[in-house]
């Protein structure tokens, strides 16, 4: 290679990295930009808002359900018991229900117990201390009890009373007042019932007969 005036021409060749005749600067470790550039970069970047952290969900309390069961279950049981009692009471009431029939007819309760009272007939009493023939008269009816149930029935539990023209009349105290026989299932019992009334009293006759603890049955007719 030729030298000219002691100057090396290689020194004036373009050097890499755009440096004209000078060696490239030594590499420096990474340095942050100046503070003014950092300030501009911070304001140029969009501000990112932190997403709010949702509060942790609290586990649902089971006390409302437990309380509803504790309160509701007894109410349901009480309501069911009341319904059953009401249905049972209604059924018993239907079995005990009485009615009104004419004298000579038969009335039967749902239990199978049947009652009938005959039309009245005059009844003679020799004892004037029991019936005063000048002011009173006596009449008799025949009471029939038919046991259509599956158990014995006590005739003493069948009561009979009478009214004439809306006025009560007295039942005579004699051997027909107390009937103590028991009636077997499928059997019947007949016995007379004697009453006395004022001699001039006549009109609508009502005989009320009650079998055991049932409602009364009213047998209606006339006393002339």
Domain assignment present for residue 72? The answer is yes
Number of domains in the chain: 2
Whether 104 and 148 share a structural domain: yes
Instruction: Read off the pLDDT of residues 160-209 as tens digits, 9 standing for 90 and up.
Output: 999 999 999 999 988 777 888 999 999 999 999 999 999 999 999 999 99
Same domain, yes or no, for 83 and 152? no
Q: Domain residues for 82?
A: 68-97
Based on the fold, state whether residues 86 and 169 are members of the same structural domain.
no
Residue 109: per-residue pLDDT: 95
Does residue 222 contact residue 205 with C-beta atoms inside 8 Å? yes
Residue 49 has pLDDT above 90, yes or no: no
Dihedrals phi, psi of 65, to nearest 5 degrees: -65, -45
Average pLDDT over residues 111-128: 94
CATH of the domain at 163: 2.60.40.1240
**Residue in 218, 214, 212 with CA at minimum distance from that of residue 155:** 212
Beta carbons within 8 Å of 94's beta carbon, 6+ residues apart: 110
DSSP 113-135: EEEEEPPPEEE----TTTS-TTT
Residue 45 lies in a domain: no
Res 212: pLDDT: 87
User: Whole-prediction pTM value?
Assistant: 0.60
User: Where is pLDDT greater, at 82 or 212?
Assistant: 212
The reply to whether 134 and 211 lie within a common domain is yes
Q: Do the domain assignments include residue 80?
A: yes
Q: Are residues 144 and 93 in the same domain?
A: no
């Amino acid at each position: 290679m030729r030298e000219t005036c002691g100057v090396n021409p290689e020194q004036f060749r373009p050097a890499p990295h755009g440096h004209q005749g000078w060696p490239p600067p030594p590499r420096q470790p990474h340095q942050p930009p100046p503070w003014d550039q950092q300030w501009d970069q911070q304001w140029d970047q969009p501000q990112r808002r932190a997403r709010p952290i949702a509060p942790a969900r609290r586990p649902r309390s089971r006390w409302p359900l437990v309380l509803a069961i504790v309160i509701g279950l007894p109410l349901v049981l009480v309501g069911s018991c009341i319904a059953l009692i009401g249905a049972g009471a209604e059924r018993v009431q239907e079995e005990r229900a009485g009615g009104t029939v004419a004298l000579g007819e038969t009335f039967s309760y749902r239990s199978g117990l049947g009652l009938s009272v005959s039309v009245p007939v005059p009844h003679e009493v020799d004892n004037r201390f029991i019936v005063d023939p000048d002011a009173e008269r006596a009449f008799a009816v025949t009471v029939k009890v038919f046991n259509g149930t599956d158990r014995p029935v006590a005739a003493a539990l069948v009561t009979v009373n009478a009214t004439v023209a809306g006025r009560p009349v007295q039942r005579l105290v004699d051997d027909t007042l107390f009937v103590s026989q028991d009636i077997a299932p499928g059997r019947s019992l007949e016995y007379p019932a004697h009453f006395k009334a004022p001699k001039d009293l006549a009109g609508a006759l009502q005989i009320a007969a009650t079998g055991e603890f049932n409602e009364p049955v009213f047998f209606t007719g006339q006393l002339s």
